[in-house]
A and B are shown apart, each in its own frame.
Chain A
């Protein structure tokens, strides 16, 4: 999208890598990064490291406790829990990333428009944000998914459509504070189009807060999927998702502890990882947060 020297000029040269140094000094942030890194690697290598086909049913071996053959035991249809857990990473990450990506795109676009143009557009858009914030997101999500169909696509899209308001506010605030700054005014005077100013001059400055909120949002989306699975409208079998595995585990909690402990811990660790990473990024990227 063209060069953006002005953007760089807003961050002091010496500080360009300062955030990384500050980030690595925070053990929690590093732990978060490690967790997320492991998840991504697991997702990529899923077919290589899974001991079994995650969908292979074996009714001779249902609900077997962890053993050498099945490290995490088998589920109610004799499928290997470890393999399902590994493939579940893919679904969880997919749901999280796509839903949050969509929310971020919508939020950034509306927030940018509101913050850049101000006036009537701002009022209208922010009123819309206020309205959306009054609805419990889960109510809207479950209504829409129950009416349509609980496919992965629908789930990702509707989580995204109900989760953009925070980003919109964030981006708007950033735009409001930046639109009167010298480099923006200079760009305007030199005849740059609104689109160019928004996308190549202001938006890059808002990347840090957007990144932080997106990272935190992925954890939230993973939790939302598990809540939907609990209600029976999450990702549908046989596709393994941590949410539907945990729901199966909950229904058999006394029969087979391994069915709920492992997916439960997986969700917990993954969400924890994204939150620690997000918080770590926030502390590192936000200059106001730095301790002298």
Chain B
């Protein structure tokens, strides 16, 4: 089965990447000035050298670096990422676990929205390359890309939320009376709240993807078999949608996998402005308060998610491409 072979090859290729990710995430903690226990130790005015040593031992900081790394990796395997330095001393994984779903939800929605708009736009632009439509679309999506997202967000909040009062300004769902709503009303409530965040987070990603579809489409349209299809007298519609589109969209799967980190990175901004309790805010607050265990945990979890996204893309690609490549691509 070539597909199984392909898949196992991809999986094996993931291992070194995974190890690299963990090493870089681990290094971030040790790059920071001072020792990671500094924050915690300083909270205690009665910190004697002995207590400090005990704490160092507790965190394993008295061991050589590779031992520390190994311990941390071992913990990671059990989803034990240590405890936060924040006064609640919560396990890091618990903190990440309660934030992840929201971020994944919003990013999936926004990825869906991007696809929904970018693919038709890209195809239409490619078909009408150089025309007025193509130019208008180009400008429009670049304007979307070029507008700083927090600025657009605040303007939309002001206009749609305050001046017109159509949409809620911020938050995930209504705070009062939410529990009394019927399931249908709850979905509606969520939709109203998430409309702006999803739209704003999709805005920036639109340009990259639709340009990609456009150029990929253009490339395909120049291929011999399209020429042949045209020569055979197939209608332009059939040529484009039956033959060209499928092949043009294939590489898109890989691009989707690669766009995950960018989207999650954008979460820092829009989660903060829309007051959404997701992973971006957790990352930001852990950076600001130098909560190293949470910071490391966040980095490693998000990048592993990206890795999984890439793997899914690979699998999707393998499934979609009858010729299943055996070498590297992308």
Contacts and interface: CB of A to CB of B under 8 A. Distances in A.
Interface stretch (A43-51, A56-64, A268-276): A268-276
Contacts of B295: 143
Interface residues of B, number: 57
B143 A133 contact: no
Nearest to B14: A130
Given A135-B302, A254-B158, A275 B264 contact: no
Contacts of B40: none
B84 interface: no
A133 B258 contact: yes
Interface in A256-276: 260, 264, 267-272, 275-276
A253 interface: yes
A246 B299 CA distance: 29
B16 interface: yes
B28 A127 contact: no
A289 B218 contact: yes
Contact of B302 (A126, A139, A272, A289): A139
B284 A142 contact: yes
Contacts of B150: 226-227, 230, 247, 250
A279 B304 CA distance: 33
Given A137-B261, A139-B283, A264-B151, A288 B146 contact: no
Contact of A136 (B146, B211, B262): B262
Contacts of A246: 148, 151
A260 B151 contact: yes
B138 A279 contact: yes
Interface stretch (B17-25, B62-70, B229-237, B245-253): B17-25
B110 interface: no
- Determine the main DSSP class of A at the interface with B: helix
Interface in B296-326: 298-299, 302-304, 306-307, 310
B147 A268 contact: yes
Interface in A182-232: 219, 223, 226-227, 230-231
B287 interface: yes
A17 interface: no
B268 A271 contact: no
A137 B151 CA distance: 21
A136 B147 CA distance: 20
Contacts of A126: 328
A27 interface: yes
Interface of B: 16-17, 20-21, 24, 28, 31-33, 129-130, 135, 138-139, 142-143, 145-151, 154-155, 158, 207, 211, 215, 218-219, 222, 258, 261-262, 264-266, 268-269, 272-273, 283-284, 287-288, 290, 295, 298-299, 302-304, 306-307, 310, 328
